[in-house]
Amino acid sequence: MERRTFLTKGLSAAALIPFARAASTQVPSFELEEVSLATLSSGIASGEYTCRSITEMYLERIEALNRTGPRLFAVLETNPDALEIAEALDKEAQEGRRRGPLHGIPLLLKDNIDTADKMTTTAGSTALEGSIPPRDAFIAGRLREAGAVLLGKANMSEWAGWKSFARGTPGWSGRGFDGGKGGFCRNPYVLDRVPGGSSAGSGVGAAASLAAAAIGTETDGSIVGPSHRNSLVGIKPTIGLLSRGGVIPIAHSQDSAGPMARSVEDAALILGAMTGVDPRDPLTSPSEGSYLADYTASLDPRGLRGARIGVARDYAGFDDRVDKLFEDALSVMKREGATIVDPITLPEELRFGNEYEMEVLYHEFKADLNAYLASLGPAAPIRSLKELIAYNESHADLELSLFGQELLIQSEERGPLTEPKYIEALATSHRLSRDEGIDKVMDAERLDAIVAPTGGIAALLDPLGASRGAGGGCSTPSAMAAYPNMTVPMGFISELPIGLSLFGRAWSESTLLKLAYAFEQATEHRRPPKFLAAAPI
């Protein structure tokens, strides 16, 4: 039977995920669980570890947890050259040529970030199976230059979730499907819960110590969402801080890559390694003079002292249990010396899926995806959005088995980026989110940042039902504005993580990191997953 004919109509949720009622999985102890980048780096420097030994341990961890054991399905493939690369980095270190704090550190990349090696880049779609781009994404190249080992490609919501809103399951991809075993990326804290999307595998991989950390991408919520559901620090930077050159797109006005890590310090280290101006991404030009190669100088345990922080109350109130954690977080900030301005108000149009944002995404997805596919050259498996839609229709038994492709179809129906409808939507989006939104309230109240709950409790993993999340979400204002947003662990509800978002002006990553680090050090909410089968909610 051909690989793409496993799914058929009428399958029940139990048939699709036979592990749904499985007992808790016993996971072997792991020497590198929760180990920081600094500890790994100092271990390599002292000789306690080698780059190869660290890489081997993470590969063994992936082997034990990804498609066996708890079957996390967080990693689509590992780099067949990873050990050889690690050995070369060991040789450099022995010769006194250490590249910096990421030298020999294994990282996972979301499967929409190009690598010109033996790994493929598919955005989770079988339509791009076997596709190897002609060059690295700019950020992948920067990580290689910094000495990171690009360990593997992380599973993701197919096409970063830009396929269907009707019945999409966060963390499902056609490429990740594994026949009777399911292939749905699973939350390592409670295995019958979603990990968040679209950077699901990046979140699970970092949380479950399948790598030292991971890189995700976000258009609206796709880094901060899975980070908050996996007790991680996730950073969605200002648009233009990190290049999108070589990243499979949704929309250039809102797309950004960013680190997903177990601590603020680790996230800061990785963020600085990826910055730089890239001719392939014109929006990186304004970052000249605004980006740093090292953000760790911003990390101050007393960083909340004297800060003015606005409370976006309109993004709370959807769950009393989340509200309790949020009030506790605000109390910590006050105790640590921050002035809390409560409440502040943003335009009510700034909600996920509003007409202005959607129109921008429809238009830009068509233009940007067609440009990306053209960059793959004549050997590309598909060459246009139109061909992608046709491919999905001809492989509907897999690619359209759980949900449709109405977002792709509606994007294909849009015209060029010169259309007045698009130009007006983009201008309105920026006006609402910047001039009448974040900039206005921050100027009026002299704020350093705005805070809100990142989201709600992770929903049950139910591929045949609504599994998009149990309320909440504050990512849209900063997404539409192209401004930075980051999440930091805020606590747990019945073993499920909840995050706190901090967002603000363009190029304010240093300020957000300072505040997040102080909050993290004062609370220490992060804890590793237990791989529970279920949890009472």
Average pLDDT over residues 517-527: 98
Tell me, what amino acid is at 459?
A
pTM for the model:
0.95
**Confidence band of 181 (pLDDT split at 50, 70, 90):** low
What distance in Å separates the CA atoms of residue 18 and residue 97, rounded to the nearest whole number? 50
Residue 375 annotated to the active site? no
What distance in Å separates the CA atoms of residue 489 and residue 535, rounded to the nearest whole number? 19
Q: Does residue 242 sit in helix, strand or coil? A: strand
Paired residues of 235 in beta bridges: 486
What distance in Å separates the CA atoms of residue 159 and residue 127, rounded to the nearest whole number? 11
Residue 209 annotated to the active site? no
Contact 115, 148 (CB under 8 A): no
Tell me, what amino acid is at 145?
E
What distance in Å separates the CA atoms of residue 261 and residue 223, rounded to the nearest whole number? 11
| pLDDT score for 183 | 77
- Burial annotation 510-532 (CB, 10 A radius, 16+ → b, else e): bbbbbbbbbbbbbbebbebbebb
When the pLDDT of each residue in the chain is averaged and rounded to a whole number, the result is 93
Residue 194 has pLDDT above 50, yes or no: yes
- Find the helix packing angle between 509-523 and 320-335, rounded to 10°: 100
Contact 294, 265 (CB under 8 A): no
What distance in Å separates the CA atoms of residue 369 and residue 433, rounded to the nearest whole number? 25
Residue 17 has pLDDT above 60, yes or no: no
**244-297 pLDDT tens trace:** 999 999 999 999 999 999 999 999 999 999 999 999 999 999 999 999 999 999
Kindly list the structural domains of the chain, giving each domain's residue range(s) and its CATH number in brackets, ordered by start. Answer: 39-523 (3.90.1300.10)
- Burial annotation 395-421 (CB, 10 A radius, 16+ → b, else e): beebbbbbbbbebbeebbebeeeeeee
Query: CA distances (Å), 103 to each of 93, 143, 500, in order?
Result: 8, 9, 31
Catalytic residue among 131, 222, 227, 501: 222
Residue 4 has pLDDT above 80, yes or no: no
Strands (E), 26-102: 75-78
- Find the helix packing angle between 37-46 and 51-65, rounded to 10°: 140
Residue 434 has pLDDT above 70, yes or no: yes
> CB neighbours of 103 closer than 8 A, spacing ≥ 6?
41, 44, 51, 89, 92, 93, 146, 147
Segment of 5-14, 78-87, 160-169 carrying the highest mean pLDDT: 78-87
Catalytic residue among 173, 198, 209, 401: 198
Identify the DSSP state of 474: -
Residue 131 annotated to the active site? no
| pLDDT score for 471 | 77
**Confidence band of 5 (pLDDT split at 50, 70, 90):** very low
What distance in Å separates the CA atoms of residue 74 and residue 153, rounded to the nearest whole number? 9
Residue 172 has pLDDT above 70, yes or no: yes
| pLDDT score for 462 | 80
Average pLDDT over residues 226-253: 98
Catalytic residue among 41, 110, 227, 478: 110
| pLDDT score for 14 | 41
Burial class (CB in 10 A: 0-12, 13-18, 19+), 223: buried
| pLDDT score for 464 | 63
Strand ranges across the sheet with 485-493:
75-78, 149-154, 106-110, 213-218, 256-261, 233-236, 485-493, 496-503, 449-453, 308-311, 339-341
Tell me, what amino acid is at 280?
R
Query: CA distances (Å), 45 to each of 51, 59, 248, in order?
Result: 10, 21, 36
Tell me, what amino acid is at 363?
H
> CB neighbours of 428 closer than 8 A, spacing ≥ 6?
356
Residue 205 has pLDDT above 90, yes or no: yes
Closest CA to 74 of 248, 169, 200: 200
Average pLDDT over residues 211-217: 99
Burial class (CB in 10 A: 0-12, 13-18, 19+), 68: exposed
